[in-house]
Amino acid sequence: EPKEAIHDEL
C-alpha cells in the first residue's frame, strides 16, 4: 500500500 515512508534507519 502506498505510504509516505519515513525511513528512520540508515
Partner 1 sequence: MNLFRLVADLMHLVSIFILLLKMQKTRSVAGRCSRISFKTQALYATVFLTRYTDLFANFQSLYNTTMKVFFIASSLYIVFLMKFKFKATNDPRLDTFKAQYVVGGAAALALIVNYAFTVQEVLWTFSIYLEAVAILPQLFMLTKTGEAEVITTHYLFALGTYRGLYLVNWIYRYWTEYYVDWIVWIAGAVQTGLYCDFFYIYFTKVLKGAKFELP
- Residues in binding contact with partner 1, number by CB under 8 A: 9
Task: Indicate the burial class of 10 (C-beta count within 10 angstroms; 0-12, 13-18, 19 or more).
Answer: exposed
Q: Within 1-10, which residues bind partner 1 (CB under 8 A)?
A: 2-10
> CB 5 → partner 1: shortest distance, Å?
5
> CB 9 → partner 1: shortest distance, Å?
7
Give the separation between CA 10 and CA 1, rounded to whole angstroms. 22
List of residues contacting partner 1 (CB under 8 A) = 2-10
